[in-house]
Amino acid sequence: MVISNKPLRFIIATLVACLPLISFANPEMDSVKVKTEVAHESAEAAHAEPTDVKSKIKEFINHHLLDSHDFTLSVNEETGEHYGVSLPIILWDNGLQVFLSSKFHHGEEIAEHNGNYYVLHHEKIYKTQADGELTEGENGFPTNVRPIDFSITKSVIGIMLVSLFMFLLFGSLAKSYSKNNGIASGVGRVFEPLVLYVRDEIAIPNIGEKNYKKYMSYLLTIFFFILFLNILGLMPLGFNVTGNIAITVSLAILTYIITTLTANKNYWGHIFWMPGVPTPMKFILAPIELLGTIIKPFSLMIRLYANMLAGHVVLMSIIGLMFIFKSWIGSTLSFGLAFALSILEILVAFLQAYIFTMLSALYFGAGNEEHHHDEAHH
């Protein structure tokens, strides 16, 4: 075997391959506690145990999927201590209100700032009176006033990290070309083929030789942005950025704006006055085509969001199975399954970045198509 000749590299590769598994250290830690609790309870009531573990796992997964106002790495359930850092809360409520999220004590206490009282309820901030009472509306949501929230949340930290990483990485890649006689050096060598792939396999075939250059910056940015955020979601810190609909909405809106603003007259002609069909048909096709322009970015948004969300839910549920079965065979199976799924998730991370970029390029290309004379006469 080639690998065994380089034992150090093999060890490093194995460590990297096992990294995704560490991201589930938190449920493990939590559930060890759950296990012991349950063991005590099961002596009294045999039927009570599965619901308790199940609801705890469910709660943990739901908490992971939401964006959070503090960066908690682990929780000690016995002492209630949270290990992690507080993040700044920025609210617009009769002026800018800035304070640290440690004031909330992870949603357990009422935060007082400049005479205003705020409560953190399911990762949403509500303004309350001094007693912190939330009045519940008809549909189960609190009716309290929600100040406009500009907080630096966990997802924002993830985006900042990835942006900084991309800036440094591709900045150094660009610099290395001028230093090294047009040949990439260092880490950039790994990413040069990916950049070329986006150009040669995604941009040029879909947009065309003539127009592809003005879209390259956007296509490369979203490809690496989504790719790195997807990979970050598989890493131990427990980010779930691309599985958050707010982020995919903004990416899809960017694609929609660029398509709409850079489209030529043929594109609009095909939407409002489809050539080559009978006149009554043109009136029917116009609203359908117009709706289609909105459905396209909408499907982009749903696809990325749902794929990443489903991946996280399935992985964490399978890890959770370990604590429901509580036998060596169940644990071994779910560990093996989780390992295989983690590897599948790496593939999905690449695939979703590729699909998003590919379809964006396809829409840009549709907006830039030149008029085909023969098409109209057939």
Among 302, 314, 341, 366, binds another protein (CB under 8 A): 302
Applying CB under 8 A, which part among 97-105, 173-181, 350-358, 364-372 lies near another protein?
350-358
Q: Does 355 bind another protein (CB under 8 A)?
A: yes
Distance of CA 162 to the CA centre of its chain: 12
The nearer residue to another protein, 66 or 100, going by C-beta atoms, is 66
SS3 letters across 300-322:
HHHHHHHHHHHHHHHHHHHHHHH
Distance CA 227, CA 211 (A): 25
362 binds another protein (CB under 8 A): yes
> Which of 259, 293, 307, 342: binder of another protein (CB under 8 A)?
307
Edge-to-edge strands, sheet with 111-113:
111-113, 116-121, 124-128
Closest approach of another protein to the CB of residue 29, in Å? 31
* Segment lying near another protein (by CB under 8 A), choices 140-148, 155-163, 320-328, 357-365: 357-365
Q: Which is nearer to another protein, 269 or 292 (CB)?
A: 292
Residues whose CB falls within 8 Å of the CB of residue 176, separated by 6 or more in sequence, listed in order: 183, 184, 185, 186, 188
* Lookup result for tokens 């929780």: 75
Cα separation, 362 vs 349, in Å, equals: 20
Instruction: Find the helix packing angle between 245-262 and 328-367, rounded to 10°.
Output: 20
Distance of closest approach, residue 357 Cβ to another protein, in angstroms: 12
- In DSSP terms, 99 is beta-bridged to 89
Work out whether 366 is an interface residue with another protein (CB under 8 A).
Answer: no
Q: How many residues bind another protein (CB under 8 A)?
A: 14
Binding of another protein by 358 (CB under 8 A): yes
Q: Does 354 bind another protein (CB under 8 A)?
A: yes
- Helices 245-262, 154-179: inter-axial angle, 10-degree rounding: 50
Residue 155: what residue type? S
Which tokens in the block code for residue 268?
């609009």
Site string for another protein, 179-208 (x = CB under 8 A): ----------------------x-------
Distance of closest approach, residue 306 Cβ to another protein, in angstroms: 4
Residue type, 375: E
Please select the residue that binds another protein; options are 17, 98, 284, 306, rule is CB under 8 A: 306
Structure tokens at 47: 């039927």
Distance CA 252, CA 37 (A): 46
Binds another protein (CB under 8 A): choice among 25, 100, 194, 351: 351
Closest CA to 362 of 254, 219, 207: 207
Whole-number minimum distance, CB 303 to another protein, in Å? Answer: 5
Positions 282 through 301 that interact with another protein (CB under 8 A)? 299-300
Q: What residues contact 336, with CB distance under 8 A and at least 6 apart? A: none
Judged by CB under 8 A, which of 33, 82, 303, 326 binds another protein? Answer: 303
* Min dist. Cβ of residue 337 to another protein (A): 20
Which is it for the CA torsion 350, 352, 354, 356, positive or negative?
negative
CB of 201 to another protein, least distance (A): 7
Nearer to another protein by Cβ, of 150 and 354: the residue is: 354
Nearer to another protein, 64 or 296 (CB): 296
In the complex, the residues that contact another protein under the rule CB under 8 A are 201, 299-300, 302-303, 306-307, 310, 351, 354-355, 358-359, 362
